Amino acid sequence: MSSAGNQVTRVQELVYELKIEQVMTKNVITVTPDCTIRDLKELMRVKRLSGVPVVVQGDLIGIVSLENLIEALEHGELSSTVGEKMTTQVQALRSDDTVVHAVNLFARFGYGRFPVVNEEGKLVGILTKGDIVRGLLRQMEVQWHAEEIHRYRASHIFEDIESDQTGLILRYAVEGQNLEHGGEAASKIKRALERLGAHPRVVRRVAVGAYEAETNIIIHSVGGEIIAEVRPDRLKVTAIDNGPGIADIEQAIEPGFSTAPDWIRELGFGAGMGLTNIKACADEMKLESQVGVGTRLEMFFKLQ
């Protein structure tokens, strides 16, 4: 997983999380309907505006754009009022909506900015595409600092204990052929990593990898163990079982190939994607097996 890829997904997530009120410009320059075109022209020139919301006692009643202004100037209507030239059908955004609504409106309409109103219809801000970009960048910077705090907390446990190398080993017994405890080891590993302060993205990948490995032990073997070894720089998750073993490993790794029995498939397992998912989540995967003895799966995750 490249960090550039991470950034792009984070931006996509933020677009759905951030509220418009968190990114909009709050000091809005407005005009009243009785403002003249002459005064509007000066205002837009000096303040470099491309559009101005028209308000009456805080209520948004229209918007006057550069286009409206140019049209008025072409006809020499310097003394006309904003009220006569403005557009009353205003596309406005709600301050409590998420940024994705703004993105959709920008895509649908060709306008450069949208006024933002609160639930009572009062103008509370204005939003341009530039505001969205600035807001996203600011939020990502905040999160980058939070990331640093996470890493600091995770490494702390290893700093306080003196040794040539410190590691944490978590072991979980997995019962074979019993789905009632399915996912429990993965869930505990996930919680342990969260408490150690690991980054949420790594936690998710480890959780998925551990879950698939655990499920494989349950479905295909007589039972085994999951071992998570945490070191400051990396995590190793090993899934060991006591048989029956895999005859053809190349075949087992193939996406879509599964030896799961019917009753397992009816529950939604057996898609044949377990090892594929593990390979996609882990930074490195090693799989060894001996028929009649057992299987050993190792997954490596970088933590920094």
Residues that bind other proteins (CB under 8 A): 13, 16-17, 179-180, 182-184, 186-187, 190, 204, 207-208, 211-212, 215, 267-269, 271-274, 276-277, 280
List, in order, residues 6 or more apart from 238 with CB less than 8 Å away.
Answer: 226, 227, 228, 229, 296, 297, 298, 299
Smallest separation (angstroms) from other proteins to the CB of 23 = 17
**Strand 93-94's sheet: what is its strand order?**
93-94, 113-117, 123-128
C-alpha distances in Å from residue 58, one per residue of 30, 92, 222, 227? 10, 14, 71, 63
Smallest separation (angstroms) from other proteins to the CB of 164 = 35
Smallest separation (angstroms) from other proteins to the CB of 30 = 31
Query: Which residue lies nearer to other proteins by CB, 45 or 195?
Result: 195
Smallest separation (angstroms) from other proteins to the CB of 89 = 23
Would you state the torsion angle of the CA atoms of residues 198, 203, 206, 207, taken in this order, to the nearest 10 degrees?
140
Residues in the chain: 304
Contact call for residues 203 and 254 (beta carbons, < 8 A): no
Smallest separation (angstroms) from other proteins to the CB of 150 = 16
Query: Which residue lies nearer to other proteins by CB, 86 or 196?
Result: 196
- The first and second tokens of residue 172, run together, are 């979980």
Rounded to whole angstroms, the Cα distance separating 136 from 127 reads 13
Rounded to whole angstroms, the Cα distance separating 217 from 167 reads 25
Query: Which residue lies nearer to other proteins by CB, 44 or 235?
Result: 235
What is the Cα Rg of the chain in Å?
30
Smallest separation (angstroms) from other proteins to the CB of 268 = 5
Query: Which residue lies nearer to other proteins by CB, 123 or 174?
Result: 174
Query: Which residue lies nearer to other proteins by CB, 116 or 208?
Result: 208
DSSP collapsed to 3 states, 210-261: HHHHHHHHHHHCCEEEEEEEECCCEEEEEEEECCCCCCCHHHHHCCCCCCCC
Smallest separation (angstroms) from other proteins to the CB of 203 = 9
